[in-house]
Structure 1
Amino acid sequence: MARIVVIGAGMGAMAAAARLAVAGHRVTVYERAATYGGSVGRFAREGFVFDTGPGLLHLPAVYRDLFVKTGKEPLEACVELRQVDPASRHVFADGTDVLLPNASRAGVVSALDAALGGGAGERWGDFLGRARDTWERSRRPLLEEPLPADRGPLAHEPYPAVRHRRLLRGARRAATVAEIGAWELADPRLAALLDGYALAYGLDPRRAPASAAVLPYLEQTFGSWYVGGGMRELARAVHERCLARRVEFVFGAAVTRIVEKDGAATGVELADGTVVAADRVVTGVDPGPLAGREVREAGDTGPEGRDVRPGGRDASPAPARFTVLLALRGGRPAGAAHRTVVHSPDGPAEAADLFAGRRAARPTVTVLRPDDPATRPGGDHEAVTITATVAPQGSVDWTDDAVRERYADVLVAAAEAAVPGLAGRVEWREVRTPADTAELTGAPGGSVPAPALAGADGAFLYPANGTALAGLHRVGGLAHPGGGLAHAGMSGALVAGLIVEGADFRGSR
């Protein structure tokens, strides 16, 4: 039995902790904040309850596997898991409005054909077929196996793009999300639909590799799920599973240093000077500053301790989230979509501003309206959350009250397309910016890491779960296979496998 210290109580860290405890190790989690869950937070006031992080779960199989492997009670016995149908509503700049069904490729094709016409649904269906090929080619090495020493196979683009003949330039294949939209989808609304998936994960459609096609494929194939009471309930269930497996949590305990001896991690030092010995250290935060040196394995990409955006070319943090929580008078109308995406009237201008560190004049916004009595004080009220992907704290000063309130007004105005009369129903609102996220989680600039992607010469991969420092492992959004709830759970499984099985570990089964 090894003594294992876990730095941080985010979802990936807790997933690793539970699995390691089941394997017989003594696990202690040190968390700088007062609670668990990382970015999977909750805000409650006057009977209204809001998620302050992810609002939906994709690939629930990841957490089903965690609960199967760590106890007798399955995930559904610990939380109420509901499929969201329709999966999403999309409002485009020209006023076109379409509802996309949950986990039904045929239904999505039919809905797009009916709303957009001109064979749009067929083109989207063909695209999803190529995205399925991309998923099948990259799924296991990208998500379910430890990152190999030779990154070469993952550096090659797995998306089977269609040849496109451009005037005076010969035939080319789409290499980015934006090029898929322009050359293969051939409809600005379909292009906006695809770009929206990239933007939601903080990816620049102009630079994100074509392999990002797996993002809409995963959602439209495996579905979108909501946890009754809000996504914070998933974090609660994972925390309780850790406690049941005798994982110890110490909150309000910031780790300031990873202790090293003879080239191996031997413990951690806390802010109060306490040194905790350990046989292994698992970190859910960037280990470079804590170790006082670079700890990347050979082949890892991205400047250690600086750029958290795969594919980034400078030291800027990745994009972040701006969120407006609205307590509304009046009940939720029957049949209202749980999630509506109101697309920007000028997607290229939005991307240009966002990835240059500026506030987009009119961002794409996502409006969440859960049909859940637990989120509101009564049937004559409604809890609505509006989010947009924005430049991180530092690029924009989100601590400026005037800036944050004006931008909240921009989001609310855009959301009127999803909730007519929205502004007149507001009782109160709470604004959460990247500055708030940075303070809560310690993430640089409040950034939210994107999932890892194959292709682009490996520029969108994350550092391996192992490190050059023996006994030190990475977990969570800044490690393989990147950000997102499902990916965090996968990273926990990979780290636990590497520690329990060592060099013989070949990946999750």
Structure 2
Amino acid sequence: MARIAVIGAGMGAMAAAARLAVAGHRVAVYERTETYGGAVRRREREGFSFDTGPGLLPLPAVYRDLFVKTGKEPLESCVELVQVDPSALHVLPDGTAVPLPNASRAGVVSALDEALGAGAGERWGDFLVRAREAWDRTRRPLLEEPRWPNWQVLAEREPYPAVPHRKLLRTRRAGTLAEIGAWELRDPRLAALLESHALAYGLDPRAVPASAAVLPYMEHAFGTWYVRGGLRELARAVYDRCVARRVEFHFGAGVSRVLEKDGRAVGVELAGGAVADADFVVAGVDPGTLGRLAPGLPVRDGDGVPARHGLPSRLTVLLALRGGRPAGTAHRTVVHAPDRDAELRHLFDGGAAAAPTVTVLRPDDPALVPDTGHEAVTLTAAVPAGAAPRELREHAERMLAVAERAVPGLRDRVLWQEVRTPADIAEATGVADGSVPAPALAAGGGRLLHPANSTGVSGLFTVGGWSHPGGGLPHAGMSGALVAGLIVEGPEFRGSR
């Protein structure tokens, strides 16, 4: 039985802790804040309740597997999962509203044909077929296996089978998500729909490789789910599973240093000076924080993966509304920016502020409101991580203006509102600028790969959204499974089958 110290109580860290405890190890989690869940938090006020992090769960199979592998009670006995249908209502730049059915390719094709005209659905459906091929080519190395030592193969090889595009005397293939939209979908409304999947993760569709086609594919293939009571209930269930498996949690216990002896991690030193000895250390922190906790140690061991800098963050507006949720309201509405070019310049090029693409979440959940005469609504949009407070306040006002396209009379219904900024994300996660990690993607020179879960220090591993396989709730859970496998089975572990 090994002693394992886990730094942080985010979703990936807790997933690893539960699996390691079931394998017979003694696991202790040290969390600098007073609660668990990382970015998966809840805000409660005056009978209203809001998720302040993710609001929907893709790929619930990841957490189903976690609960199967760590106990007798399945996930569905611990939380109530509800499939969201439609998956999303998209309000496109020209005002067209398109409800997309959940996990139904035929339904999506039909809906797009009806809303955008004959042929639009077929082009989107053909794109999804190609996106599936990219998914099949990258699923195991990017999600289910430890990151390959020869990761350059993933960085150089574009898995998306782009359609040849002939212009004048040249034939080209789409190398970015934006080029897929322009050359293969050939409709600015479909292009906006496609690019919104990149923007949801703070990725620039003009620069992100074509392999990002797997992002809309995952949503259409595996569906979108809501956890009754909010996504915080999922974090609570994972925490409870850890406690049931005798994982020790120490809250308000920030780690100041990873202890090393003869090239191996041997424990952690806490902020107050206390020392916790360990045979393995699992760090659920971003690379910058890990560097500060392990100064001078080869935590990346010169692996050559390009460092990630300047990723956008998220701005969230919590709205307590008078008046109940109208029948037939979509759970999620994506209101697209009227000027996508201006939005991209603002987010990625330092351009002037512009109206953003806003995701509007309106759950049909009595647990979130004081009574049926009120509604809890959450707005989210990507923002530059370094934006000043005044800019963020002004951006929140622009978000409200955009959201009124989905919620008529919104401003007249507001009882109160709260704005959650990148600083709030930084406080919850420890990431200095409040950046939000994106999932790992192939191609693009490795820019969207993440550091391996193993490090250059024997016995030190990384877990969570800032390590392989990247950001997002499913990916965090997968990172926990990978780290547990590497510790239990050793370096020969090659992923679950």
For Structure 1 versus Structure 2, the TM-score category normalised by the shorter chain is over 0.9
Q: Which residue does 1:274 correspond to in 2?
A: 274
What secondary structure does 1:406 align onto?
helix
Q: Which residue does 2:313 correspond to in 1?
A: 320
Report the Cα offset of residue 298 of structure 1. 4.5
Structure 1 residue runs of 4+, over 6 Å off? none
C-alpha distance in structure 2 between counterparts of 1:61 and 1:359, whole Å: 41
Q: Which residue does 1:122 correspond to in 2?
A: 122
Does the 8 Å contact 2:314/2:381 carry over to 1?
yes
Q: Which residue does 1:105 correspond to in 2?
A: 105
Q: Which residue does 2:431 correspond to in 1?
A: 443
Report the Cα offset of residue 152 of structure 1. 3.0
C-alpha distance in structure 2 between counterparts of 1:134 and 1:493, whole Å: 23
1:165 aligns with 2:166: yes
CA deviation map 1:78-98 (0-9, x unaligned): 000000001100001111111
Q: Which residue does 2:143 correspond to in 1?
A: 143
Does the 8 Å contact 1:359/1:396 carry over to 2?
no
Q: Which residue does 2:216 correspond to in 1?
A: 216
1:397 aligns with 2:388: yes
CA deviation map 1:149-199 (0-9, x unaligned): 11133121100000001235x000000011001110100010000110000
Q: Which residue does 1:290 correspond to in 2?
A: 293
Q: Which residue does 1:68 correspond to in 2?
A: 68
Report the Cα offset of residue 362 of structure 1. 0.4
- 1:389 alignment partner AA: A
Q: Which residue does 1:367 correspond to in 2?
A: 360
Report the Cα offset of residue 409 of structure 1. 1.2
Aligned Cα RMSD in Å? 1.1
Report the Cα offset of residue 441 of structure 1. 1.6
Report the Cα offset of residue 358 of structure 1. 5.5
Q: Which residue does 1:387 correspond to in 2?
A: 380
Aligned match for 1:335, one of 328, 342, 349:
328
CA deviation map 1:260-313 (0-9, x unaligned): 11011111111101111110000011322211034114534133xxx3xxxxxx
Does the 8 Å contact 1:301/1:463 carry over to 2?
yes
Q: TM-score, normalised by structure 1?
A: 0.95
C-alpha distance in structure 2 between counterparts of 1:49 and 1:148, whole Å: 42
CA deviation map 1:328-387 (0-9, x unaligned): 000000000000000011112211110134664100000000000001001010000000
Report the Cα offset of residue 503 of structure 1. 2.2
Does the 8 Å contact 2:368/2:376 carry over to 1?
yes
- 2:374 alignment partner AA: H
Does the 8 Å contact 1:300/1:462 carry over to 2?
no
Aligned match for 1:302, one of 303, 306, 327:
306
Aligned match for 1:460, one of 439, 445, 448:
448
Range with bigger deviation, 350-359 or 227-236 = 350-359
Report the Cα offset of residue 317 of structure 1. 2.9
Q: TM-score, normalised by structure 2?
A: 0.97
What secondary structure does 1:328 align onto?
strand
C-alpha distance in structure 1 between counterparts of 2:313 and 2:31, whole Å: 22
Aligned match for 2:344, one of 351, 356, 364:
351
C-alpha distance in structure 2 between counterparts of 1:501 and 1:208, whole Å: 35
Q: 1:357 to 1:375 in 2, by over 3 A?
A: farther
Q: Which residue does 2:231 correspond to in 1?
A: 231
Structure 2: stretches of 5+ with no match in the other structure? none
Does the 8 Å contact 1:46/1:377 carry over to 2?
yes
1:491 aligns with 2:491: no
C-alpha distance in structure 2 between counterparts of 1:150 and 1:460, whole Å: 15
Does the 8 Å contact 1:229/1:372 carry over to 2?
yes
Q: Which residue does 2:489 correspond to in 1?
A: 501
What secondary structure does 1:504 align onto?
coil
Does the 8 Å contact 1:4/1:28 carry over to 2?
yes
CA deviation map 1:453-501 (0-9, x unaligned): 0111222110000000000001001100000000000000000000000
Aligned residues: 492
C-alpha distance in structure 2 between counterparts of 1:359 and 1:416, whole Å: 22
Q: 1:86 to 1:16 in 2, by over 3 A?
A: same
- 1:379 alignment partner AA: T
What secondary structure does 2:438 align onto?
coil
Does the 8 Å contact 1:142/1:452 carry over to 2?
yes
What secondary structure does 2:461 align onto?
strand
Does the 8 Å contact 1:323/1:432 carry over to 2?
yes
Range with bigger deviation, 200-209 or 231-240 = 200-209
What secondary structure does 1:388 align onto?
strand
1:7-18 equivalences in 2 (<5 Å): 7-18=7-18
CA deviation map 1:370-417 (0-9, x unaligned): 00000100101000000001100xx2113xxx4333221111110001
Identity %: 70
Structure 1: stretches of 5+ with no match in the other structure? 308-315
Q: Which residue does 1:311 correspond to in 2?
A: none
Q: Which residue does 1:312 correspond to in 2?
A: none
CA deviation map 1:419-457 (0-9, x unaligned): 111010000001101111112221131111000001112
What secondary structure does 1:444 align onto?
coil
Does the 8 Å contact 2:158/2:442 carry over to 1?
yes
Does the 8 Å contact 1:317/1:444 carry over to 2?
no
- 1:250 alignment partner AA: H
C-alpha distance in structure 2 between counterparts of 1:163 and 1:92, whole Å: 27
C-alpha distance in structure 2 between counterparts of 1:297 and 1:112, whole Å: 48
